Amino acid sequence: MNVALALRILRRLLLLLAGVLLLLHAIFDSGALGDPARRSLGEHATPASLGEWRLQMGWYAAFEPRAARLRLQGGDRLLRLGGQDGSLVLEAVAPEASGPRLAAWSREELQTRELGSWLRDLQAALPEGSGGLQAEARRPELPAAGVLDALSEVPLVLDPRRPAQDLPWAESVSSWRRALRQSWALLRFDLGTSLRSGRPVAAEIGERLGPTLALGLPAFLATSLLALLLGTWSLLRPGGPADRALGLVSAAGLSLSAVTVALLLQRLLGVRWNLLPVHGWEEPRLGSLLLPWISWLAIALGPEFRLARGLLARAWQEPSILAARARGAGRGRTFLRHALPLAAAPLLARLFLGLPFVFLGSLLLESLFGIPGLGAWAVQAVQDGDHAALRSLVFLFTLVWILCQTLADLLGARLDPRVRQALEAGRAS
Amino acid sequence: MKRAGAAAILLLGALLLLPWGGPSTAEAGHLRIALSVRPTSFEPLHAIYTVNQARFRQVYETLVEPDYRSSELRFRGLLAESWEASEDLRTWTFHLRPDARFHDPGEPPLWPGGSRPVTAADAAWCFLRLADASISSVSWFALEDLIEGLDAFHDATREGRRPGVRDLPFGDPGLQVPGLEVLDEQTLRIHLVRGGGDLLPRLASAFCVLYPWEAVARGDLKAVPVGSGPFQLELPGSSEVARFRRTPGWRGQEDLGETLPRIERLTLTWVAEGATRTGLFETGRLDRLVLEPDSLHRFLDGEVLHPRWQEKGYRLQSSPWPSTSMFLFNLADPVLGEFPGDPEGNRRRRALREAVARAFPYGRWQSIVRLGSMAVPARSFLPPVLPEARGAPAAPWRSRDLGEVARLLEEAGYPGGEGLPVLHIDLGSQGSLARRSAEVLRQGFREAGIPVEVRLHDFQGQQERIARGEAQIFDRGWHFDWADASNLLATFTGGQAFGGSNRANFVDAEYDRLFAEYLRRPPGPARTRLAHRMLEILHERIPGIPVDHSRVWFVLSPRVQGVAPHAFDPYAFKYYRLQAPAAAAGE
The pLDDT tens digits for B537-577 are: 999 999 999 999 999 999 999 999 877 778 888 888 999 99
What pLDDT does residue A289 have? Answer: 92
User: DSSP assignment, residue B497?
Assistant: B
Q: Which of A118, A141, A195, A279 is the best substitution to test chain B (most B C-beta atoms within 10 A)?
A: A279
Give chain B's end-to-end CA distance (angstroms, integer): 44
Q: Which of B11, B48, B128, B167 is the best substitution to test chain A (most A C-beta atoms within 10 A)?
A: B167
The separation between CA B567 and the C-alpha centre of its own chain, rounded to angstroms, equals 9
Q: Which residues, in sequence order, are bridge partners of residue B81?
A: none
Superfamily of the domain at A201-428: MetI-like (1.10.3720.10)
Instruction: Give the containing element (helix H, strand E) for A16.
Output: helix A3-24
pLDDT one-digit tens code per residue, A140-152: 332 222 333 334 3
**Using CB atoms within 10 A of its CB, is residue B214 exposed (0-12), middle (13-18) or buried (19+)?**
middle
Instruction: Give the containing element (helix H, strand E) for B268.
Output: strand B265-270
pLDDT one-digit tens code per residue, B74-103: 899 999 999 999 999 999 999 999 999 999
- The answer to whether B240 contacts A372, with C-beta atoms less than 8 Å apart, is yes
Q: What would the mean pLDDT of B518-524 be, rounded to a whole number?
A: 90
Flag whether pLDDT at B123 surpasses 90. yes
Q: Does A372 touch chain B (CB under 8 A)?
A: yes
Report which of B73, B37, B55 is spatially closest to residue B522, judged by C-alpha positions. B73
Q: What would the mean pLDDT of A39-54 be, rounded to a whole number?
A: 64
SS3 B210: strand
CATH 1.10.3720.10: which residues of chain A? 201-428
User: In the 3-class helix/strand/coil scheme, how is B76-94 assigned residue by residue?
Assistant: EECCEEEEEECCCCCEEEE
Output the CA angle B444-B450-B456, nearest 5 degrees: 65
C-alpha to C-alpha distance for B13 and A277, rounded to whole angstroms: 16
Instruction: Considering only CA atoms, give the Rg of chain A.
Output: 31
Report which of B566, B484, B496 is spatially closest to residue B528, judged by C-alpha positions. B484
What mean pLDDT, rounded, does chain A reach? 73
CB-nearest to A138 from B16, B167, B275 is: B167
Between A205 and A383, whose confidence is greater?
Answer: A205
What pLDDT does residue B504 have? Answer: 94
Give contacts of B459 with chain A, Cβ < 8 Å.
none
What mean pLDDT, rounded, does chain B reach? 90
Report which of A349, A276, A245 is spatially closest to residue B12, judged by C-alpha positions. A276
Give the number of residues written for chain A: 429
User: DSSP assignment, residue B341?
Assistant: T
> pLDDT band for position A322 (50/70/90)?
confident
What pLDDT does residue A43 have? Answer: 60
CB-nearest to B167 from A49, A136, A279 is: A136
C-alpha to C-alpha distance for B249 and B265, rounded to whole angstroms: 15
Lowest model confidence (mean pLDDT) among A1-5, A246-250, A284-288, B570-574: A1-5
Q: What would the mean pLDDT of B199-208 be, rounded to a whole number?
A: 95
How far CA A233 is from CA of A62, A242, A250, A350, A376, in Å, comes to 64, 8, 14, 20, 37
- The answer to whether B40 contacts A370, with C-beta atoms less than 8 Å apart, is no
Q: Does A290 touch chain B (CB under 8 A)?
A: yes
Q: Does A243 touch chain B (CB under 8 A)?
A: no
> pLDDT band for position B516 (50/70/90)?
very high
Q: Which residues, in sequence order, are bridge partners of residue A134?
A: A71
CB-nearest to B168 from A116, A271, A368 is: A116
What pLDDT does residue A124 have? Answer: 59
Residue A223 amino acid letter: T
pTM of the model: 0.79
> pLDDT band for position B1 (50/70/90)?
low
Q: Does A172 touch chain B (CB under 8 A)?
A: no
Instruction: Give A372→chain B minimum CA distance, Å.
Output: 7
pLDDT one-digit tens code per residue, B224-268: 999 999 999 998 888 889 999 999 999 999 888 889 999 999 999
Q: Please, what's the b/e burial string for A165-202 (b: 16 or more CB within 10 A of its CB; e: otherwise)?
A: ebbbbbeebeeeebbeebbeebeeeebbbbbbbeebbb
Between A236 and A107, whose confidence is greater?
Answer: A236
The separation between CA B410 and the C-alpha centre of its own chain, rounded to angstroms, equals 41
CB-nearest to B275 from A138, A196, A266 is: A266
What pLDDT does residue A24 have? Answer: 85
Flag whether pLDDT at B385 surpasses 80. yes
What pLDDT does residue A165 have? Answer: 39
- The answer to whether A140 contacts B161, with C-beta atoms less than 8 Å apart, is no
What pLDDT does residue A86 have? Answer: 43
> pLDDT band for position A166 (50/70/90)?
very low
What pLDDT does residue B395 have? Answer: 93
CB-nearest to A278 from B166, B169, B283 is: B283
C-alpha to C-alpha distance for A79 and A100, rounded to whole angstroms: 10
C-alpha to C-alpha distance for A338 and A343, rounded to whole angstroms: 9
% residues pLDDT > 90 (chain A)? 16
Q: Does A383 touch chain B (CB under 8 A)?
A: no
How far CA A171 is from CA of A54, A59, B517, B580, in Å, comes to 11, 8, 52, 64
Flag whether pLDDT at A114 surpasses 70. no
Q: Does A84 touch chain B (CB under 8 A)?
A: no
Flag whether pLDDT at B353 surpasses 90. yes
Give contacts of B164 with chain A, Cβ < 8 Å.
136
Between A29 and A133, whose confidence is greater?
Answer: A29
C-alpha to C-alpha distance for B424 and B331, rounded to whole angstroms: 14
